[in-house]
Structure formats: C-alpha cells, structure tokens
Structure 1
C-alpha cells in the first residue's frame, strides 16, 4: 500500500496534547514534583525583584523624617535592610537549585517517555508488517522514528510542566497583586491570559498547517536522499547526477520556504508578545498611580504592583514562546500517534502451539481462495494442495500470483474468501508465533543486516552454534565461499549486504531457511541469481530434505521445476 502525501492534521492541538499527556501517567509523581519545583523557582525570581523594591521603600520610609508616604505592610518599617538582603540572597540561591531540580525532573520524564514511545512505535511497526508497510515511504517512516519522536522531547520537557507552572504562578501573582487592589489583580489576570493563552492560540492556529507541511516535507526529503544514495551507481552510470541534484535542490528550497514562513511567524509572535508585556507593564503603572491618587493604594502598593507585573511574565512568556516550536512538535505528535493508532490489516493471534503432543506435519492447502490487493484481484477461487514430504513446484510468468500464495501461507495477508490451512488448521486460528515456527520463508530479495555473515544466518535460530550455522551454509552452497573471506564467518557484510553479490546474498537467505529447520520451507525464486552449478547443489540439498519437509518451490525457471514431485501452473495472468 503506497503512502499518500497528507499534510492535514486529523485532530485538534488539544486532542494531540491530551493523547501525549496520557502517556505521562506512570511518571505523574515526578511531573507533579517538577511543577511544584518550577512554580517555587519562578516565585523566587519574581519576589527577588519585589524585595529589591521593598528595600527602596524601606529606605524612603526610614530616611525621610515626617514622610507622608502611606504603606500597607508596616513590617517594612521595623525590618532591617540587612535582613531583607539576607532573604534576597537565600532566595537567589534557591532559585538556581529549584530551577535545576525542575529541569532534571522534566528531562528525566522526557527521555524516559521517549524510550517508551520508541518501544511502542517499533511494536506498532511489527504489527503493521508487512501488509501495511510494503511499498510505504521508508524515509518518512525513518523520520517518524527519529526526528519526530525526538521533537516530542520539547513537549515533555518544555511544555507540560511549563503550562501548569505558568497557570499556578500566575494565579499566585494575581492574588498577590489583588491584595493591594482588586482592579490591579484583574488587570494582571488579563495581561497573563493575553500573553500566555491568547497569543499562543493565535500563533498556533495560523502556523499549525505550516508545521505539518514542514514535518511531512522533511520526511519526504529524507526519502529522496535515501533513494538517491541507494541508486548512486545507476545515477552515475546514466548521467543523471545533475538532474538528481536539481531535484534535491528544488525540494530543499521548498522546505526552506516553509521554514522561512515559520520563522517569520515566530518573529511576529515575539514582537506582539514583547509589545503586550510593555503595554501591560506601563498599564499597571498608570493604573497604580490612578488608584494612588484616589486613595485606593499607598506608595508601596504602586511600586510593588508595578515591579510584580514587570517581573512576573517569565512563566507566561515561556508559554508564548512554546507556540513557535509547538507547531512542529504537535505535527510530530500527530504523525507518531497516527502510526501508533493505525490498525493492522492482519491481527496476530497470541499464544504458542496448542498442546496435544508431537504429530506428523500434515502439509498445507488453499481452498477456493480469492485475494486482491485493494481493487486488483490476484487469485480467484484458487485451490492448491501441498503434500507432506514432497516438493511442490509453482511455475508461471512474473506477476501471475506465485509469490502471493507464499505470503498467504505465511499469513502476511488474509484471504477475502476461501481458506488457507497449514498442518490441518486455518492460518487465521493458529497462534502467529507457532505458524512462523512451522515455516521457513525465503523471499526473492534477501535482506542482510549490517553484521557478520554468521549473525546474519543465525537470525533464523537464536542461539545456534557455529557448527549448526556452518552445516546450513554447506546445504546452501555458500560455505566454501565464506571460508575464502579474510574473517570467514565473522566477515561483515556491509550495509544492506553491499559487499556481496546477489547470488551470495540469496544463498545466505537459503542457509537461514535450512538453519530454521521448519516443517515447511517456502522458496520464492530461490535460484534466480545463481549459476547452474550452485543451482544444482541447492536443489540436491532440497531433494535430500524433502523426506522430512514440505517444500514449496516458486520459480519461473523450468530447470528449477525438475526437482519438484508435482508442479502447478499459474496461468491467465494472475488467475490460476
């Protein structure tokens, strides 16, 4: 199924944030600690400046005899400046300690949750494989697994607790300023809401679509670069380097244009935020002076309310700034959540083999099977019987549905109608792990991991001994070649097995099948990349294994079919 380009969000920002916050439940106690520590830290910073203002008031009260300045806090008159300064030093030290502790808690939560999310994503990908991932844009998937998940660190470390800290700190400051006069408290509340809620919502609404466009475009550029690297030989051979470079440059310019728009929005948001803060600060000063002239507050109230207003925007400014990166972060969250919520086409059956003791393998059968990839019918009322202890050949032209039969036997897809049975049971009722244990499947294109040859073969049987690996390699006619390599079985195959030829990779895939030692071996074009000598050796090994195995041999080669006990022909394009 090909992945269609989609830059539209399926859910609102609040829904995305709610779903992401839901993942914090196991670490809620640490999140609460971060919120409390962060609130106390901001209050220390705010009251540091407020106390500095109180020192000024104290000086005016004690330095001018017969002053007419009215105060609401009489403790200022009786508290020595030295005591106030000592308190300020303690608060300054506490501010640093509390800020560090809050950041430590937030980042602990973030990195812990990123690990959990990665596990969830890989589990989701395994469930979606292969039906929903075949033909999918791999670069975009890589982008989700790497950069999108990494961007969620911003949300968990710098979004959740800052929102709670801003709300809690603002509430405390509204009460503190409102203690001098209710109008001053309401003015502060309006200022905090404007900077911390209205501006972020405005910026988020206008930039959400651009954020999703950027994340999607970034994933597509990753795919293009990955595709270009894999096809480097062909690009050089056919002189397509300049054209490929132009295409990459064009894609980069488009992405840079979207990023430029996001940066422009960020700049305008900062300008609006700074302007509102400036207006609110001078507005509080004007309001306080007005209240002073009306006898509503004293001189100390004018100074304290103004300083408190000017010095308490830190938490809500952090929220306002978040909206810049939050567009991309929420877009990343949408892409990750969509992947986690995507339903697999084939639901795995939990459990292991059903109890009942050892018994002879009963082969496999396809009964009146109809199967289609979306709207394209591949098999129509197709039937096939695979006898135990025999080699069954399936011969036909490319695209006739030969490989599809093997994928249905592995239950990579489910049939639309009919029944596929293995060992006498419907594959839709067999525990998935047991089904895969009963079958060895060799695909047309053998994938090799960036590891040693021995480890690449051993994935078919975890814990296999070197002797077992070598025996499987001998059956696959690859042992002699491996022994000629400098490090033998410990030789690294390189990324995607680039250091080996197609035939060598294919024989390693066949060695895996022999090592897996399953009751049924499914081979999809196993000799397509082999010369006649190696083809003969492998077919001889298959013939020797046939007495104990049920072997299905798919090939368009007539020579490969000579080893089969019975041959089925695939005709009429895709219909048997």
Structure 2
C-alpha cells in the first residue's frame, strides 16, 4: 500500500463534499452563530457584574435568555447538517468501494485477506464519519469565530486583538498539527491490528470444525488472545496519547488566558476592561479546543482514509471492456498461450481448438493448469502471452457483458447467499419465471428435494449455504448453470460431490442440452468424461 501524506488524504476526502456544499455552508453559519451565542453568555454576565454601561441590566437579561435559547437550536441544526452530509457521503463511499471491489474481482480479490476487506467495508468507512461530521465544518467555524473574537478584543486595544490571534493559532493550528504528526502512526497501526483480528476471527470461525476435530482449539484460542492483546496495546497507546493531548491543550488555554490578564495588568487597563476581555478570551477557546482534540481522534481516521483511498485507486488486473466486440461463441482457439502467476509458470505454449457444439473433456494431475485454463476462458485473468480467440476475435477485445452472457461457469465450490433458494437461483437470471427456475432444478435433480422443504423455493439458505450438504450446494450451482442457458459451458469438477446416481441424472441433462452448446469438462472421473467428443490430457503445463 503506497503511503500518502495527511494533506493528500484530506484533499481526496474533501473533494467528495462539493455536491453537498450548500449543507456545509449552512452547518458553518449555524455553528458560528451557535458558538458566538455560547461565548456571549459569560461575556454578557461579566458585563452585568462590572456594570458596563454599554447595555442596561434589563437588556443584558433579555440577551442572555435569547443567546441561551438560540445556542441549543443552532447547535442542533449544525449537527443535523453535519451528520446529513456525513451519512450521505458514507453511503456514496460505500457505493464506490463496492464498485472498486467489482472492478478488481476476481483476479485481485482472490489474494486479498477477506477479514481485512470486511474491516475496510465496515469499520474503516464508518470512521470517516469523524472527518465529515466533526472536522471540516469545525475548522471553518473555528476560523470565523476566532476572527470575530479578535475584532471584539481590538475594541479594548490592538495589542489584545493581536495576542488573541496568536493564542488561537497556537491552540487551533500548532497543537493539532503537532498532535496529528505524533499520533498518525499509532492510528494507522491500530486500524491494521483491528483488520488482522477480524481476519483471524473469520478464519477461526470457518475452520471451527477442523480445529475441534484435530484438537487444535487451544492453539487457535492462544492466537486469538495474542491478536486481541496486540489490538488492546495499540488502543491503550492511543488512549494514553489522547489523555496527554487533552492535558496539553488545557494547559495551553490556562497559560494563554493568564497571559492576557498579565498584559492588561502591565498596560494598566481598567478592572472592568480586564474582566470582560479575559472572560471573552477564556470562553472563546471552545472552537479551537475542538480542533486541538481532533489531532488525536483523527489519527484513526487518517489510517482508515488511506486504506479506503488505496482500494479505490487500485488498478485491476483485467479491465472491463464496454465498447468492444460482440461474439456468438461458435468457435474457440487457444494459440500459444503462456500464463504465469507471481512468477510461477501455470500454462506454457498451450494450444487447443474447440468447435461449435463440441463437448471437450480435460484431465490432468492437480496443479497442471486445468482450472486456470477455464478462468482464462472466462477472462478472469489475461494471458501472459499468446491469444485466446472467440470467433476469430481476441477475447481481450470482447465486451465483458458479452462474455458473461454467453459463458456459464460452474466451479468446485458453489457460493450461496443468506437468502431464499429462489433468489439464490435468480443470480443466474434475474428475470427468470418460477417455471424456468423449476425446470433448471429438475435438470439438476434438486427440484424434489426443494419441494420437500416446508417453504419450498422460499426456504432461507444460511450463510455460505451451510444449511445444505456439499452435494446439494453443487446441484444448486448446476441449476444456476441450466438457468443461465449460456452458449459456452465451463464445468470444473461439476459432479465431485455427487453420488453415482445423481451424477448420471445430471450428466444426462447436460449432454441432452449439448445440441446448442459448447461444453468444456474438467474432471478426474472417467464416468464424467465418458461421453465427451474428445478428452485431452494436461501435463507439465501444456496439452499432451
């Protein structure tokens, strides 16, 4: 992950606010007015105490009541605008992140840590709320409010206005920059440790049966305790720094306020002027104190922002084609194809011609590149060299939508969502009728099983299909393939989890539909490949 400066991260995040600039201006104006009301309450009280002739006592009481009432209303309105902006932008960022994940999949997502991605999608994006709701407008509010207070202080003398300006710069600019630089590393590391813990927990939950079977639970528990301790140490480090930040900020406020009093004494100001000016100074630090405290709380936000932006900027291994060619998928030619992944040679000088409506079987040892070949035909990855031609056109130049429409791919593992069986099948064809879904399930020999369930096709499937057996999940995947009804069908060990009876029924349905399809089988089973037009063998990364 390339490192980004804090300013680069902030500038990228701020650009997203422009469509909602009207709400941001409202939040700033109401925030300034609200803080001025809060400041004027003690200032007016001090004026009443010293019997300042500017306002009568009766007028001061009315102004105090008005300021107190407006302070609550304006504060609520400011926060409402800020959080409206924040939640709108978080929704927009989530949409962009999911778009980036779609763009990067499947090639790059196969090697990314799933727990890390979950942490980014949930916690990291949520942390950006601090920036949008509690950072941008407070900076502007602090600037405008401080400027107004400096102008009021100048009514007592230019030296007091200048001193107030310097005091606001120290608390609102110097301290936040210093604190942010000191705490950024802690915040970035905290987000990393949180992501690592998420990954470890997710991995442990998925492998719980294996851990129990091999009595490995104690080791996994020790690992969980270790990951938790690392995160707790980072959090403790962060909390200690935040405590130091608050103490340092309060110390600066006290010393700077005391400094103004000493200037009044040194210049022989009147007691009335010193009291009102000092009260104004002390009460006006609120907006800049909020900025000083942001220095530590933003450390996590900076880390989260960097992780989100890095994902959005990541370049996919395979670019989606929109304005390309359209093919009918009548013929496939694989010519001199080489493919390597992370410097490991998977395919070398691969040559294969597949004719229309032909059924091809592929056999080979594990690691010979059979599954990789199917992924290249799906264009999940691009070949390192050589060409894959569809109807004489390079697969790289075909519209991605054309590929997805005309290719059906059944993997060794069928992924099911926490939804109804019907909706899980509609993944293959969203506008499918219930009759089409049932026909596909009959071909996959799972219709009767679904009908036997209390809610039939409306039965909910648990996460990752855990409520179904391996064979049932595989038949669901085959039902999707039948429903998709694509021209080119790629089957990677499609019957590995099925008994011979179910395998025979499904193979019969597949071969029955071959009249208008080109089918590529990858399997170790002789029975699966028995009716193929030809069977090729892959050895040493090539066709033998």
Q: Note whether the superposition's TM-score is higher than 0.5.
A: yes
The reply on whether 1:203 has 2:179 as its aligned counterpart is yes
The reply on whether 1:32 has 2:25 as its aligned counterpart is yes
Task: Work out which of the residue numbers 288, 291, 294 in structure 2 matches 1:322.
Answer: 294
State the match for 1:544 in structure 2. Answer: 512
For 2:204 and 2:367, the matched residues in 1 are separated by 27
Q: State whether residues 333 and 354 of structure 2, in contact with CA within 8 Å, keep that contact through their aligned partners in structure 1.
A: yes
State the match for 1:216 in structure 2. Answer: 192
Task: Work out which of the residue numbers 184, 194, 204 in structure 2 matches 1:228.
Answer: 204
The reply on whether 1:457 has 2:425 as its aligned counterpart is yes
User: For residues 125-164 of structure 1, what are the structure 2 equivalents within 5 Å?
Assistant: 125-164=101-140
Unaligned 5+ runs, structure 2: none
User: For residues 336-351 of structure 1, what are the structure 2 equivalents within 5 Å?
Assistant: 336-351=308-323
For 2:197 and 2:282, the matched residues in 1 are separated by 45
State the match for 1:89 in structure 2. Answer: 65
The reply on whether 1:377 has 2:353 as its aligned counterpart is no
Task: Work out which of the residue numbers 393, 418, 440 in structure 1 matches 2:408.
Answer: 440
Q: State whether residues 537 and 543 of structure 2, in contact with CA within 8 Å, keep that contact through their aligned partners in structure 1.
A: no
1:553 match: secondary structure? strand
User: For residues 369-518 of structure 1, what are the structure 2 equivalents within 5 Å?
Assistant: 369-518=337-486
Alpha-carbon offset, residue 458 of structure 1: 1.5
1:369 match: secondary structure? strand
Decide which moves more: 101-110 or 87-96.
87-96
Task: Work out which of the residue numbers 155, 159, 168 in structure 1 matches 2:144.
Answer: 168
Q: State whether residues 352 and 434 of structure 1, in contact with CA within 8 Å, keep that contact through their aligned partners in structure 2.
A: no
For 1:78 and 1:429, the matched residues in 2 are separated by 79
User: For residues 87-126 of structure 1, what are the structure 2 equivalents within 5 Å?
Assistant: 87-126=63-102
Task: Work out which of the residue numbers 226, 240, 243 in structure 2 matches 1:264.
Answer: 240
Q: State whether residues 369 and 382 of structure 1, in contact with CA within 8 Å, keep that contact through their aligned partners in structure 2.
A: yes
Q: State whether residues 363 and 520 of structure 1, in contact with CA within 8 Å, keep that contact through their aligned partners in structure 2.
A: no
Q: State whether residues 288 and 306 of structure 1, in contact with CA within 8 Å, keep that contact through their aligned partners in structure 2.
A: no
Q: Deviations over 1:216-241 (max 9, x none)?
A: 11011001111111111111111111
Q: Deviations over 1:181-206 (max 9, x none)?
A: 22212221221111112222222111
Change in Cα spacing, 1:248 to 1:474, as seen in structure 2 (3 Å) is same
Alpha-carbon offset, residue 258 of structure 1: 0.8
State the match for 1:67 in structure 2. Answer: none
Q: Deviations over 1:169-188 (max 9, x none)?
A: 11221222123222212221
Alpha-carbon offset, residue 427 of structure 1: 1.5
For 1:476 and 1:135, the matched residues in 2 are separated by 32
Question: Structure 1-normalised TM-score?
Answer: 0.92
The count of corresponding residues between Structure 1 and Structure 2 is 544
Unaligned 5+ runs, structure 1: 1-5, 59-75
Alpha-carbon offset, residue 433 of structure 1: 0.8
Decide which moves more: 399-408 or 198-207.
198-207
The reply on whether 1:57 has 2:50 as its aligned counterpart is yes
Supply the RMSD in Å over aligned alpha carbons. 1.6
For 1:161 and 1:290, the matched residues in 2 are separated by 37
Decide which moves more: 411-420 or 106-115.
411-420
Task: Work out which of the residue numbers 20, 38, 51 in structure 2 matches 1:45.
Answer: 38
1:569 match: secondary structure? strand
Question: Structure 2-normalised TM-score?
Answer: 0.97
Q: Deviations over 1:13-61 (max 9, x none)?
A: 1111111011101001111111111011111111121111111222xxx
Q: Deviations over 1:150-180 (max 9, x none)?
A: 1111110011100111111112212221232
